[in-house]
Amino acid sequence: MIVYGIDVGGSGIKGAPVDVSTGTLIDERRRIPTPRPAAPEPVIDTIAQLVEEAGWSGPVGVALPAVVQDGMVRTAANIDRSWIGVDARSQLVERLGLPVHVINDADAAGLAEATFGAAQAVGGMVLVLTFGTGIGSGMVFDGTLVPNTELGHVEFRGMEAERYAAARLVEEEDMNLEWWASRVGEYLRYLERIFWPRLFVFGGGISKRFETIAAIIETSTPVVPAHFRNRAGIVGAACAAAGEATEA
Ligand code: BGC
């Protein structure tokens, strides 16, 4: 089954058709800069543009950087606040005229990594963390996603953890990479004391620099880079949509 996966990020909205039986992108990835403000209407228009340009007419999975319950957006830390309370699924179904599934972006990454990537066949708890504009968390237990965990918003060192350790600090605020990595290490050790995961998967665009910082991130739990790097949202959104289509 092929599903068109879309990942709405802080700087770009990316999409590609995904073979959900293997997790591979079967055509080029398209990217359109995220509109400013990233309010529902312009973002939905951009999603529609991606789908139309791809000539797509099948099911669509959309990953949003927000808590999503039954297609409804509940939070908006790094997108426009006007998303809160929006029934994203219904609006997208209406706009695209196609079946749509909406999922949190880090949950999508968690699904992709657990199904085809770095957390494949790992038993017990795995925390897939995506470092970008914020920090997203995809919690997976014995291969099953525990949705909407939002571990980027736990209070750490007197602030929300994502203020302390999001990759934005390096990418937009010129924080030294090694210094940032030591903060990530502190944050992971904190999560470790609470959840005792078997594995951390380090995701987000910055995961391509993982080799440079791996030695600085000192934890008892193994930390591995995300297999899908920043394609995880696209792949996971497509897989989630396929799962829903199969259940229905
Ligand atoms: C949001 C999460 C999202 C993460 C990564 C956080 O600020 O609250 O829902 O997964 O950023 O985009």
Sequential pLDDT tens for the chain (248 residues) = 999 999 999 889 999 999 999 999 999 999 999 999 999 999 999 999 999 999 999 999 999 999 999 999 999 998 999 999 999 999 999 999 999 999 999 999 999 999 999 999 999 999 999 999 999 999 999 999 999 999 999 999 999 999 999 999 999 999 999 999 999 999 999 999 999 999 999 999 999 999 999 999 999 999 999 999 889 999 999 999 998 766 65
Same-domain status, 103 and 11? yes
CATH classification of the domain holding 84: 3.30.420.40
**Count of all residues that appear for the chain in the document:** 248
Q: 237 CB less than 6 Å from ligand 1? A: no
Domain assignment present for residue 12? The answer is: yes
Same-domain status, 236 and 222? no
Domain assignment present for residue 141? The answer is: yes
Note whether 236 and 130 are within 8 A (CB). Answer: no
Buried-state track 134-156, b at ≥16 Cβ within 10 A, e below 16? bbbbbbbeeeebebbbbbbbbeb
Tell whether pTM > 0.95: yes
Domain assignment present for residue 176? The answer is: yes
Q: 148 CB less than 6 Å from ligand 1? A: no
Domain assignment present for residue 112? The answer is: no
As a whole number of angstroms, the distance between CA 136 and CA 106 comes to: 5
What's the token pair of residue 95? 């706009």
Q: 149 CB less than 6 Å from ligand 1? A: no
Domain assignment present for residue 113? The answer is: no
Q: Residue 71: which domain range?
A: 2-107+231-247
Distances (CA, A) of 121 to 57, 143, 164, 204: 33, 7, 32, 21
Q: 154 CB less than 6 Å from ligand 1? A: no
Residue 103 Cα to ligand 1 midpoint, Å, equals: 11
Same-domain status, 201 and 169? yes
Same-domain status, 126 and 214? yes
Provide the number of structural domains found in the chain.
2
Which residue's CA lies nearest to atom 12 of ligand 1?
65
Residue 116 Cα to ligand 1 midpoint, Å, equals: 22
